[in-house]
Amino acid sequence: MAHAPKDNHAPLHLHIPEPKFRPGDVADFSDIIVPEVDANPRPDEHVAPANIHALAYGLVRVLGDDHQPSGSWNPNLDVDTLRVMLRKMLLLRAFDDRMFRAQRQGKTSFYMKSFGEEATSVATTMALHSDDMCFPSYRQQGILITRDYPLVDMMNQIYSNRGDRLKGRQLPIMYSAKEYGFFSISGNLTTQYPQAVGWAMASASRADTRISAVWCGDGSTAEGDFHSALTFAAVYNAPVIFQVVNNQWAISSFSGFAGSERTTFAARAIGYGIAGLRVDGNDALAVYAAMQWAANRARNNGGPTLIEYFTYRGEGHSTSDDPGAYRAAEEYALWPLGDPVTRLKEHLIAIGAWTDAQHESLIIELSVQVKAVQKEAEQNGILGHGLHHPFETMFEDVFEEMPWHLKEQCAQMLEEQKDKFGPEWEAR
Amino acid sequence: MAEPATKKMNMIEAINSALDVMLAKDPEVVIMGEDVGYFGGVFRATAGLQAKHGKTRVFDTPISECGIIGVGVGMAAYGLRPVPEIQFADYIYPGLDQLVSEAARLRYRSANDFTCPMTVRSPFGGGIFGGQTHSQSPESLFTHVCGIKTVIPATPYDAKGLLIAAIEDNDPVVFFEPKRIYNGPFTGYYDRPVEPWSKHAGSDVPEGHYRINLGEAAVVREGEAVTVLTYGTMVHVVKAVVADQGFDAEIIDLRTLLPLDIATIEASVKKTGRCMVVHEATRTSGFGAELAAQVQEPASII
Amino acid sequence: MPKFTFNLPDIGEGIAEAEIVAWHVKVGDMISEDQPLADMMTDKATVEMESPVSGVITKVAGEAGDVIAIGAMLVEIEVAGDVGNQAPAAAEAADADMLAAVVADENPYAPEPVAVAAATPAPAAPVPAQSPAPSAHATEKVMASPAVRQRAKALGVDLTDVKAAGGHIRHADLDAFLNYGASKGYQPAHTKLPRADEAVKVIGMRRRIADNMAASKRHIPHFTYVEEIDVTAIEAMRADLNANRGTKPKVTLLPMLIVAICKTMPQFPMMNARFDDEAGIVTRHGSVHLGMATQTDSGLMVPVIRDAQDRNIWQLAAEITRLAEAARNGSVKSEELSGSTLTITSLGPLGGIATTPVINRPEVAIIGPNKIVERPMFVGDSIEARKLMNLSISCDHRVVDGWDAASYVQALKKLIETPVLLFAD
């Protein structure tokens, strides 16, 4: 029961955040402040975190409205590097498109696109060394694509087929690729945060030169693991780069449910005494520059950095999701920071290193390439149609050596299958 | 080969010795936890180890069990062998997600791409007047999880050999130390003077490296009338009761709960035709239920 | 040529069934890979299913409105094999064969089907699991002698279409069928066929309406209150407004009524609310999002005037016109059909003397103005012609008391009968 009012105070009321726009509304992002390029210039990589608080509230930008780079954050990338960046982002987009369709064609159960956030996995990875360790969340397939992990292996995993390196044990897209510096993706959100810190601490304690980088979304910064990780990283000055891909939406919950109505995600760094940068996540050059700054800082024992990429989830959370049910239509088209692929393309065109015709033909080339790989992957089977790893592998790799009780349970399963499907099964 | 030098040790000293041996033997072993560094642990299990092996091998952590175990998973993924301490098993729960969803599943979900050779040590069990918050026995939460081994020693000798084997194991191990018997075996008679470990055969501990394989139980008393399955502090309570009552029980100290030494259990129950389970954990859905099921399931036993 | 069965996949992690919203193909269509097949609606989303292969549609699962189980056939496609010019590249066709073989393989434990597909020289033996399904007719048992069967077969007559005098079809029955045509059997001359019963499938929007109405009546204990309101003054004011409207849209009584509704709402927050009866929470909304029941060709729709309290009479009039038009011509957006906090339902000149409207769940009230009639009334001692209108309101008695509803309508009545108050703040 509510207490009777005391004194002269108004009764308490509970604030439940609500996004500004819902289906039926026309989104208006005019309240989003987009500062000038170089509004907060690039500090020295060894700067004390206390001296760069403004960077946690600002927005690091390199590309201006005229698609020309400027300012102290400009990474001054050569044209070849820029073209590689664009190609990787377009390949990622082509891959996403193909796999989303594969789900709609019944070839897999689940897929997640990274549409609109391509820069946050491609440009970041390009700014790391190839042997730095990445601890991704579930929307960073761009890391694997940037590091030339075979697309066919990604597809085999998505199809859970007999070529799946993970033997059908993981939800589609939950890759693992140690050889490519890509940690096994967990469905439990932000658990990778303290793990990345542990990896970085191990690297530092072994006088290694490698650093670790970890990604999570805006929504999952609310997990306890996020805060444990930042505490440990600050305590041990671990060479780790924390990245929050703030794409505004955690399935149907807007970023306000992770605290964005009060402060920025980059500003979380301030309380821990580590460096925090807030970056235009759709400006691939700014994303690259921020990651490069943080990587140099970490590699030179400057400690951890928390980077927030301010971006927008252009499509649904996954193939199971329909954003039309909870957010205003056309939000992505109205997003004030544009589309990362388009902005990089316009930049290349503006400097005379690219044309619309080249762009169109690259899109076609990549789509043909991805489709060809898809045919190759489908030779290994698609989800639910026979061509998978043998069922008994379900019991393997729980431990290094299979203990007696799992052997017994496995034998029981095989026995029951024999009873059900007859001697042909046994013969197989 | 000459008999290795042995020394009288209590359980704390045996655990300390195991950690010391492994820190010296394997440069990848690191120890971390709340108060484990300079101070040497609230139960003194890590006393002197930081001074001997250095701060990057033995260090204090923030008070965050989720962080301790999560960082341990990351270190293991790098290639280290972390041996984190959780100060009391009662406080392990914030780290449960990292243990259950991460450490235990890593090898499986990555199909051997990544592994987690981590041993989480933690004092557990009752008997020290600690109230509900320093007395819990959560072992069945871990035996239920695929991918974790659960070990509980009952003597200094076993504690050292099992801990070394756990650290050398390439899978995650939860190593629960019965804190009631850190300094002397408990017979169940709290009104009698505490008997020190030095009077117990299990306190003759080799100073060097030795292993007691995980998954191997010990028959601590042979008998014909009934098989008693037990572990941890209760091993000593059962021994005292059997001695006092004078019945011919065969007492099996399981030592490793998972994987379970079913062969030893099966042989004993076949011989005695009776079986009894004694543990101090919550009875409902406890590990005793699993033991009861295991001895009744195979046609060969009954 | 191999047939490929496209079974409806689980498109939303744990979905059991989905409704066909619209077909993009029909039997006989030549389709290419990635071409849209059908829009399927689950309780999470409506998604467009695409074809994984190229070929000709030989079977579809049903019609719009049908609910298909996950794992059941959605379409069957004859995969292009040796069709010449318009066939896809040979490699792709081979892949399609492989995929068809894989998908046709019902037993997940069966040996690897790639080898099977490669070893089988297709044309002689079409994939056995995919032999054309027998038609529904052929499965019905027909009693007839072998001679009658043979004759019917030669004539191309399906015996299930032939009516028999007894249980057994004889030559005479077949003759009658042939003489009098089609499946009508024997008909005496000059008799008018009775108008046949018509089974209308309740699908799509009609089904939505049916479900919503049933749920409303099932869950909500309705009560309805009707009061007579003198609209002479407000009608005079409306005439004045319209006479001076210039280029503005003509104002009907509806926007004026909406202004009155919004103006009274702060004193009656219990009326502008949504009741989540599972959670046991009534949300009293600060803004009035007014649902406007609108008759369209496909049935009742309720487009929503957002933040009605912030709009003046002219803006309301324009929005009413726009939404009604959009609802009728089908351009209304799905977002414009949800989120109402209170609904108004008016049949205009068909308004009758009283209505008992059904609440648009989870709202808690619905207002129905009835027809305006001119009647002689006492005004003081004299009899005057007055314009009168009954106003009906139905409320959810679980959360709205009769006293509240009556007080609310009386407040509305006062505003409408003294319309100058509408503009007094």
CB contact under 8 A, A417 and C107: no
Any A CB within 8 A of B259 CB: yes
What is the dihedral sign for C-alpha C52, C57, C58, C64? positive
Write the pLDDT tens digit of every residue in A381-416. 998 776 888 889 999 999 999 999 999 999 999 888
C336 neighbourhood in chain A, CB within 8 Å: 24
Any B CB within 8 A of A367 CB: no
Q: What is the pLDDT of residue C138?
A: 44
B86 neighbourhood in chain A, CB within 8 Å: none
- With a CB cutoff of 8 Å and minimum separation 6, the contacts of C407 are C268
Mean pLDDT of A276-296: 98
Give the distance between the most distant pair of CA atoms in chain C: 104
Write the pLDDT tens digit of every residue in B134-155. 999 999 999 999 999 999 999 9
If contacts are CB pairs under 8 Å, which of residues 62-101 in chain B contact chain A? Answer: 62, 64, 66-67, 69-80, 82, 94, 97-98, 101
Out of A244-258, B229-243, C156-170, C291-305, which region has the weakest mean confidence (pLDDT)? C156-170
> What is the pLDDT of chain A when averaged over all its residues?
94
Which among A136, A191, A221 is positioned nearest to B95, based on CA atoms? A191
DSSP-derived pairing of the beta strands A133-135 and A212-217: parallel
Same domain, C273 and C398: yes
Per-residue pLDDT for chain C (425 aa), expressed as one digit of tens each? 788 899 998 887 788 888 998 999 999 999 998 999 999 988 777 888 999 999 999 999 989 889 999 889 999 999 866 433 333 333 343 344 444 444 433 333 233 333 333 333 333 333 334 334 444 444 456 777 777 888 888 888 888 877 776 677 888 777 777 776 554 544 444 445 567 788 887 877 778 788 888 999 999 999 999 999 999 999 999 898 888 888 888 888 999 999 999 999 889 999 999 999 888 899 999 899 999 998 888 778 889 999 999 998 888 998 998 998 888 887 888 778 888 999 999 887 788 899 999 999 999 999 999 999 999 998 888 999 999 999 999 999 999 999 999 999 999 999 999 988 888 76
Band (A425; pLDDT cuts 50, 70, 90): low
Q: Which tokens sit at A171? A: 């939800």
Name the phi and psi angles at B45, rounded to 5. Answer: -65, -25
Percent of chain A with pLDDT over 70: 97
Same domain, C316 and C386: yes
Residues of C annotated as catalytic are: 397, 401
Residue type at position B291:
L
CA C216 – CA C221 distance, rounded (Å): 9
Mean pLDDT of A325-349: 94
CB contact under 8 A, C98 and A329: no
- With a CB cutoff of 8 Å and minimum separation 6, the contacts of B86 are B33, B65, B68, B69, B92, B95, B120, B121, B122
Q: Which tokens sit at C298? A: 């496909």
**DSSP type of residue C73:** E
Q: Are the C-beta atoms of B121 and B45 separated by less than 8 Å?
A: yes
Q: Are the C-beta atoms of C421 and C411 separated by less than 8 Å?
A: no
Q: Are the C-beta atoms of C48 and C39 separated by less than 8 Å?
A: yes
CA C4 – CA A106 distance, rounded (Å): 13
Which among B207, B301, B290 is positioned nearest to B254, based on CA atoms? B290
Same domain, C155 and C33: no
* C198: in domain: no
- Do B and C touch, 3+ Cβ pairs within 8 Å? The answer is no
CB contact under 8 A, C11 and A384: no
Same domain, C250 and C270: yes
CA atoms within 13 A on the CB side of A183: 33
CA A277 – CA A52 distance, rounded (Å): 9
3-state percent breakdown (helix, strand, coil) of chain A, nearest 5: 45, 10, 45
CATH of the domain at C151: 4.10.320.10
Q: Kindly provide the residue ranges of all beta strands, DSSP E only, lying in C333-404, ordered along the sequence.
A: 342-345, 365-379, 382-396
Mean pLDDT of A221-247: 98
- With a CB cutoff of 8 Å and minimum separation 6, the contacts of C97 are C2, C79, C81, C117, C122
CB contact under 8 A, A24 and C335: yes
CB contact under 8 A, B77 and A405: no
Which tops the pLDDT comparison, A228 or C202?
A228
Query: What's the structural domain count of chain C?
Result: 3
- For B175, the enclosing helix (H) or strand (E) is strand B173-178
Same domain, C97 and C159: no
Residue type at position C163:
K
- Residue in chain A closest to C5 (alpha carbons) equals A106
* C186: in domain: no
* C59: in domain: yes
Q: Where exactly are the structural domains of chain A?
A: 49-378, 391-427
Q: Are the C-beta atoms of A108 and A156 separated by less than 8 Å?
A: no
Same domain, C116 and C148: no
Q: How far is A266 from chain B (nearest CA, A)?
A: 21
Which tops the pLDDT comparison, B207 or A4?
B207
Same domain, C258 and C310: yes
Residues of B annotated as catalytic are: 134
Q: What is the pLDDT of residue A314?
A: 95
Q: Kindly provide the residue ranges of all beta strands, DSSP E only, lying in A63-211, ordered along the sequence.
A: 133-135
Q: What is the pLDDT of residue C140?
A: 57
Q: What is the pLDDT of residue C202?
A: 81
Q: How far is A398 from chain B (nearest CA, A)?
A: 5
SS3 of C279, please?
Answer: coil
CA A184 – CA A377 distance, rounded (Å): 21
Given A174, A231, A400, which is nearest B67 (Cβ)? A231
What is the tally of helices (H) and strands (E) in chain C?
Answer: 10, 19
| 3-state helix/strand/coil string of C87-136 | CCCHHHHHHHHHHHHHHHCCCCCCCCHHHHHHHCCHHHCCCHHHCCCCCH
Q: What is the pLDDT of residue C12?
A: 77
In this complex, which chains have at least 3 CB pairs below 8 Å with chain A?
A: B, C
Q: What is the pLDDT of residue C71?
A: 87
Given C13, C48, C114, which is nearest A104 (Cβ)? C48
CB contact under 8 A, C339 and A104: no
* C329: in domain: yes
Which among A159, A379, B181 is positioned nearest to C102, based on CA atoms? A379
Q: What is the pLDDT of residue A190?
A: 97
Q: How far is B49 from chain A (nearest CA, A)?
A: 17
Q: How far is A231 from chain C (nearest CA, A)?
A: 36
CA B89 – CA B95 distance, rounded (Å): 11
Q: What is the pLDDT of residue C136?
A: 43
CA A339 – CA A332 distance, rounded (Å): 8
Q: Which tokens sit at A80? A: 């070849």
With tokens 């305590």, the residue in question is A235
A200 neighbourhood in chain B, CB within 8 Å: 74
- Residue in chain B closest to A396 (alpha carbons) equals B108
Q: Is the pLDDT of residue A282 over 90?
A: yes
- Give me the DSSP letters along A267-291: THHHHHTSEEEEEETT-HHHHHHHH
CA B126 – CA B279 distance, rounded (Å): 11
Please state the length of chain C.
425
Mean pLDDT of A320-345: 93
DSSP-derived pairing of the beta strands C17-23 and C299-301: unpaired
CB contact under 8 A, B61 and A404: no
Strand partners, A272: none
All domains of chain B, ordered by start, with CATH? 6-181 (3.40.50.970), 215-296 (3.40.50.920)
Write the pLDDT tens digit of every residue in B73-132. 999 999 999 999 999 999 999 999 999 999 999 999 999 999 999 999 999 999 888 999
Q: How far is CA C49 from CA A156, C13, C26, C216, in A?
A: 21, 15, 14, 33
Same domain, C150 and C48: no
Same domain, C46 and C153: no
Write the pLDDT tens digit of every residue in A30-84. 999 999 999 999 999 999 999 999 999 999 999 999 999 999 999 999 999 999 9
Same domain, C40 and C94: yes
| Residue to substitute from A156, A175, A197, A228, interface B, most B β-carbons within 10 A | A228
* C196: in domain: no
Out of A103-117, B284-298, C185-199, which region has the weakest mean confidence (pLDDT)? C185-199
Domain interval for residue C221: 204-423
* C331: in domain: yes
DSSP-derived pairing of the beta strands C55-60 and C73-79: antiparallel
- Describe the crossing of helices A356-378 and A340-350 by its angle, rounded to 10 degrees: 140
CB contact under 8 A, A186 and B102: yes
Same domain, C64 and C161: no
Same domain, C369 and C239: yes
Residue type at position C179:
N
CA A127 – CA A117 distance, rounded (Å): 16
**Which fold does the domain A49-378 belong to in CATH?**
Rossmann fold (3.40.50)
Given C7, C48, C112, which is nearest A386 (Cβ)? C112
Q: Which tokens sit at A291? A: 């990651």
Name the phi and psi angles at C51, rounded to 5. Answer: -85, 130
Name the phi and psi angles at B29, rounded to 5. Answer: -75, 130
